[in-house]
Structure 1
Amino acid sequence: MQILQVSAEYFPLLKTGGLADVAGALPQALQPLGCEVRPLLPGFAAMLDGLAEPVEVGRCLTPWSQPLRLLRGWLREPAGASSASAGIQAYVVESAELYLRPGGPYETPDKQPHADNQRRFAALCWVAARLAEGFDPSWRPDLVHGHDWHAGLVPAYLAAAGSRVPCLFTVHNLAYQGLFPRADYEGLGLPAHWFRPEGLEFYGQLSFMKAGLYYADRLSTVSPSYAREIQSPEFGCGLDGLLRHRQTVLSGILNGIDERVWNPLHDPHLPVNYGSDSLELRAGNKAALQAELGLEVRPELPLFTVVSRLTEQKGLPLVLAGCEALVRQGAQLLVLGGGDQALEAAFAAKAAQHPGRVAVRLGYDEALSHRIFGGGDVTLVPSRFEPCGLTQLYGLAYGCLPLVRRVGGLADTVTDADLVTLDEGQASGVVFDRMEQGDFDHAVRRMLALYRRPADWRQLQQTGMRQPLHWGDAAARYQALYRVMLNSTTLAGGR
């Protein structure tokens, strides 16, 4: 099978969140299963820099007369990956006007959305449809797989072209929908009458996410629980009715982690490597991490950590409100992340108030995140909603026990520690239910009680580290879904 994968991010070239990790790992995981996956990426500077041996496939104009150049080359692999893992060809849409500018992939330096994001990602989607129809004479996909709202117009462009190439659309986070004013629909090259509730219109706006949900042949999310949750008003972000209508073609496939990148036995970012049978070696990582971040170097203090975008979605107000009690009970808190300026300031204030006990590093630091999972004791993920969550998976793999809310992929991956699950050897973390401060604080106390029971603590670490977290099962499910799609003659939406 030849699969064209469309995404705005790709690890290790460009990452703002878990989307990049999935987009970077899935092509490699599918390769042994007979799937040749070629990513299609927007021409951000990091993507162009990471494309080796680029050749020009062709030039074209978008429906709004924007000149584009399509490049094909080989993608740079993650640091430490074996030579056997190399060999992913990819396409990059080159347009300095669209993609080469200050700021991040979606925002200006002052954190405002780029004013032309609708055209920047419509161009990516439009090129995907062109590739499906043979724009590269040397390679033509059997199927297109688009990720999140940035790829939402791919199935719409395929439908508008009358393409018979099927499209899978994967939702990583329904809350980010790619919404734009009605006027931005003009010139995108899609039929005018498609701007309606049975199409791309969402309460008077253009919705890239809705386009993907409506026109794709099949839909998937990144965990089974999230696939169920988004069909409810609570989690559906206004799209639950459409998702219930399309529930027969909606699947939930749990993400894995890339063991080439996330493996404490071989991780080059750790001062000391270790495995599930040598957990005593983690003490060296913890001491080094405490020293690096200005925390008291005391092994007996449990180190709670946050590695996250700093947003309301992640439940971080619970962590802020619980910080005083956590410190009072003899624990430390380490936060790595960026995002909401009010949350950034609040966490920085906590660090200033509790030197040696609370540390904050604002921004994104891939290497430091590895050291945190390799040296921290607890990873906090008390999310309001969580499509899959990779943080808790990294915590499980590194023996940094997850404390999570029972929602989405968190519910699918962490088994709460109680007398039964401890006795049966199934417990892997602490789970709480309600988005209430009392529930979170009680979960913290439960985690502290476990920390004071070294044998139980080690058992939980080993249970998490030994469970299958790799991409093998997920890749097999994607391959099976691709086969179903290729064997089906039913096309969705306007096709």
Structure 2
Amino acid sequence: MTTSVLSVASEVFPLIKTGGLADVAGALPSSLAAHDFAVRTLMPGYPDVMRQVGDAPVACRFADLFGGPARVLAANVGGLDLLVLDAPHLYDRTGGPYVTSAGHDHGDNWARFAALSKVGAEIGQGAISGFAPAIVHAHDWQAALTPVYLAVSGRARPKTVLTIHNLAFQGNFPYQIFPGLGLPPAAWSIEGVEYYGDVGYLKGGLHAADMVTTVSPTYAEEILTPTGGMGLDGLLRGRGEGLVGIVNGIDTAVWNPKTDPDIPHHYSPRSPKSRSRNKRALETEFGLPHEDGPIVAVVSRLTWQKGLDLVADACDSLVERGVRMVVVGSGEPMIEGRFQAAHVRHADRIGVRIGYDEALSHRVQAGADAILVPSRFEPCGLTQLYGLRYGCIPVVAKVGGLADTVIDANYAAVTAGVATGIIFSPPSQEGLMDAVDRMLRLFADPAGWRQLQLSAMNADVSWRASAGHYAQLFRDLIGDQRP
């Protein structure tokens, strides 16, 4: 017997992506299908999404959704069973899903994502004929009001799960928006959406959801502390066993060096020597000289959280050590500027591409020798998982999901043949450079480096195990005793 699940997410790969949330929302449904869960995903109808959906049939309509009419379209894109919220007054915007072309938050984001949550709750309670989900799975603050709307409805409701992908983004808005949410007055309370005098979308969802998950076991522990909890640690500690950490996986069909259409030369753990041809191609693409020394990569949002200021400030030291570097990403202007200045100083040693480029990120993972992920905090991180899959050795800070997914190349792990990367602590300039020096010593031993790459490529980074954990959590919630 198949159990229906409604997933509610603000971005879904391959339709639209700004970060790892999209990859998770796009990959988890197919993995859950193997456990007899049929997932339909509700997402906003941004312009790029509407172009891909085309003339899809209408599943339901709303006469007035936060200031205008809306409809939900039922579509299938790339094997994903989608419900697309077509509300032009909310989503037909230039810029990105959350920001304008000038980089500022859309002024009505509170309404745009309250609408997503409200529709998620309505669908959860039967707004679409013939679809009655047993579970509603909401992702991050943009969908966090879904369990709130369900909880205050006074009607029978499905079980709810809220996944925190990054606690730093909480969806807090001024009290003045509360009357526009359509919630009862009782929702303005410490057990509701009130949060230090503001409206807290994530905070409200954390109270209302039947279960709360986050994207790695270590991050689940970190957010229980005052340092990692970002003001919500008390609430999260109060959830007790109602909070669990399930590490993310990746879509190993999309991220597969044996078949990846975005890389020039295919390879596998059984034919790793072919990988070197991708390195030559990467050197050409970034205007770097063809050398035997290592190329380290950054593929990331260029932010303080990701620790990329540490890498930007280390560029001269990296070049002095004989390292070449490629950087792909965008983010804080100051960090972007530091990398661009480093490229000017070392044009033949450091290549920089400011902006998001999915295909290029695949080529970087296939051609670079190591990838730097020095995050100050990291709920899970997917970049290091892509690196493992492609034999691009992760050099990561010992935080969150980075610590859960990489096995440090210490003496015991190297001797046992199980090391998959390099872990350092704390995430500081000194810690980063010590880790790079360790990487260089390992790279200087070709046989040992090949073994490290093979161990990395053979690591299970799929959703197989993690989807099983989600499936068991869902079964426990609805009282399904099947194994």
What's the TM-score, normalizing by structure 1? 0.95
Q: Deviations over 1:237-295 (max 9, x none)?
A: 10000000002111111111101100101111111100112111111100111111111
Are residues 1:221 and 2:223 paired?
no
Indicate the larger mover: 405-414 or 63-72.
63-72
Does the 8 A contact of 1:41 with 1:47 survive in 2? no
Does the 8 A contact of 1:180 with 1:205 survive in 2? yes
Partner of 2:433: 441
Number of residue pairs aligned between Structure 1 and Structure 2: 477
Q: Deviations over 1:370-414 (max 9, x none)?
A: 000000001000000000000000000000000000100000011
Indicate the larger mover: 368-377 or 28-37.
28-37
Partner of 1:106: 98
Q: Deviations over 1:212-236 (max 9, x none)?
A: 1111000000111111110001110
Partner of 1:426: 418
Partner of 2:75: 73
State the 1:420 CA deviation.
0.8
Q: Supply the RMSD in Å over aligned alpha carbons.
A: 1.2
Indicate the larger mover: 124-133 or 158-167.
158-167
Does the 8 A contact of 1:403 with 1:429 survive in 2? yes
Does the 8 A contact of 2:67 with 2:89 survive in 1? no
Partner of 1:374: 366
Are residues 1:174 and 2:167 paired?
yes
- For 2:67 and 2:278, the matched residues in 1 are separated by 54
Partner of 2:194: 201
SS in structure 2 of the partner of residue 313 of structure 1 = coil
SS in structure 1 of the partner of residue 56 of structure 2 = strand
Does the 8 A contact of 1:63 with 1:188 survive in 2? no
SS in structure 2 of the partner of residue 384 of structure 1 = coil
- For 1:165 and 1:469, the matched residues in 2 are separated by 31
List 4+ stretches of structure 1 deviating above 2 A.
Answer: 49-53, 61-66
Partner of 1:17: 19
Partner of 1:31: 33
SS in structure 1 of the partner of residue 58 of structure 2 = strand
- For 2:462 and 2:345, the matched residues in 1 are separated by 40
Q: Deviations over 1:63-118 (max 9, x none)?
A: 6453211111212x2xxxxxxxx3x3211111111001111000001110000001
**Letter of the aligned partner of 1:443 in structure 2?**
A
State the 1:61 CA deviation.
3.7
SS in structure 2 of the partner of residue 235 of structure 1 = helix
Partner of 2:141: 149
Residues 159-308 of structure 1 aligned to structure 2 (within 5 Å) = 159-162=151-154, 163-298=156-291, 300-308=292-300
1:458 to 426, 450, 457: 450
State the 1:51 CA deviation.
2.3
State the 1:208 CA deviation.
1.0
2:314 to 317, 322, 330: 322
**Letter of the aligned partner of 2:414 in structure 1?**
L
Residues 478-493 of structure 1 aligned to structure 2 (within 5 Å) = 478-487=470-479
Does the 8 A contact of 1:344 with 1:362 survive in 2? yes
1:121 to 105, 113, 120: 113
**Letter of the aligned partner of 2:393 in structure 1?**
L
Q: 1:53 to 1:141 in 2, by over 3 A?
A: farther
Partner of 1:349: 341
Q: Deviations over 1:411-432 (max 9, x none)?
A: 0011111111111111111110
**Letter of the aligned partner of 1:256 in structure 2?**
G
SS in structure 2 of the partner of residue 33 of structure 1 = coil
Partner of 1:49: 51
SS in structure 1 of the partner of residue 181 of structure 2 = coil
Does the 8 A contact of 1:62 with 1:123 survive in 2? no
SS in structure 1 of the partner of residue 314 of structure 2 = helix
- For 2:459 and 2:409, the matched residues in 1 are separated by 15
- For 1:468 and 1:53, the matched residues in 2 are separated by 39
2:380 to 368, 388, 393: 388
SS in structure 1 of the partner of residue 166 of structure 2 = coil
Does the 8 A contact of 1:179 with 1:208 survive in 2? yes
Indicate the larger mover: 145-154 or 46-55.
46-55
Does the 8 A contact of 2:313 with 2:338 survive in 1? no
**Letter of the aligned partner of 1:20 in structure 2?**
A
Does the 8 A contact of 2:380 with 2:402 survive in 1? yes
Q: 1:91 to 1:63 in 2, by over 3 A?
A: closer
**Letter of the aligned partner of 1:352 in structure 2?**
V
Partner of 1:476: 468
State the 1:164 CA deviation.
2.6
State the 1:197 CA deviation.
2.3
State the 1:343 CA deviation.
0.9
Partner of 1:80: none
State the 1:475 CA deviation.
0.9
- For 2:311 and 2:388, the matched residues in 1 are separated by 20
Does the 8 A contact of 2:124 with 2:158 survive in 1? yes
**Letter of the aligned partner of 1:432 in structure 2?**
F
- For 1:30 and 1:220, the matched residues in 2 are separated by 16
Partner of 2:354: 362
Partner of 1:491: none
- For 2:52 and 2:238, the matched residues in 1 are separated by 41
**Letter of the aligned partner of 2:193 in structure 1?**
L
Does the 8 A contact of 1:53 with 1:74 survive in 2? no
Unaligned runs of 5+ in 1: 78-85, 489-495
Does the 8 A contact of 2:328 with 2:353 survive in 1? yes
Does the 8 A contact of 1:316 with 1:382 survive in 2? yes
Does the 8 A contact of 1:58 with 1:70 survive in 2? yes
Partner of 1:409: 401
SS in structure 2 of the partner of residue 210 of structure 1 = helix
Identity of aligned residues (%): 47
Unaligned runs of 5+ in 2: none
Name the structure, 1 or 2, with higher relative contact order (CA <8 Å, separation 6+).
Answer: 1
Indicate the larger mover: 427-436 or 399-408.
427-436
**Letter of the aligned partner of 1:36 in structure 2?**
A
